[in-house]
Amino acid sequence: MKKRIVFWSLLMALVFFLVIGFTTLKAQEAKAPTPKDLATRAKITMAEALETALKAAPGKAVAAELEKEKGKLIFTFDILPSITSETITEVQVEAITGKVISRAEEKIGGKEEEAEKKGEEKEEKNEAREKGDQEIEKEEVPVPLKDLVASSKITMVEALKIVQTATSGVVLAGELEKEEGKIIFSFDILPSPESQVIHEIQVDAATGKVIAQEEEKIK
């Protein structure tokens, strides 16, 4: 009788610890990874991942991000196949193995319409500010992807090489955008695993020159 009680007690204790361990593991997976987590776990660079992505989906990369999705560490790229394309291709490359794990197409319309709507709202705000004679910096109006790519003289691959020559660290994200009237590639870089700041480096998409470097504290 005593042996049976001891057995069930041990069994219940084992089940309890298994449940606690499983719950803790799930909680850790659900928690958003820190820049350090992303940087230290990735086995390939963004430049290497982008070259792989462009082989799977030729075109011009307009956005890139190192992130965790469904338990996997991945590089996600938005690629515009051509200036006349009505779709944008999203390619995901696993940051551990360097293999393409997904490729999907999405109509530009959805993203463009959202950008246009935001652009109209910003234009209205800018007009209101001018009428009110307020000395406030105007917000940048979003530019269609086709126009951004058409105005760019260098590719994201080339911009990444420029950035990696200018600074060390792990590139976490990149985007082709318009800021203060210039078409730029903007990159977020973690200088080192111990760093408490993210470096934002901007490369002029027309000249290929680094035009700005800023620091932002990691929250």
Domain locations along the chain: 35-109+143-217
DSSP letters, 173-195, are EEEEEEETTEEEEEEEEESSTT-
Mean pLDDT score, 154-169: 92
Q: Is 66 helix (H, G, I), strand (E, B) or coil?
A: strand
CA distance 127 to 59: 37
- The helix or strand, by DSSP H or E, that contains position 89, with its residue range, turns out to be strand 87-94
- For residues 198 and 215, the answer to whether their CB atoms sit within 8 Å is yes
Assess whether pLDDT exceeds 80 at residue 80.
yes
Q: Domain 35-109+143-217 classified CATH 3.10.450.40? A: yes
Return the half-sphere exposure (C-beta side, CA atoms, 13 A cut-off) of residue 209.
Answer: 3
At residue 138 the predicted structure's pLDDT band, cuts being 50, 70 and 90, is low
* Residue type, position 60, single letter: K
- Which parts of 88-205 fold into alpha helices (H)? 108-131, 145-151, 156-166
CA distance 98 to 49: 6
At residue 24 the predicted structure's pLDDT band, cuts being 50, 70 and 90, is very low
Mean pLDDT score, 42-51: 96
pTM for the full predicted model: 0.73
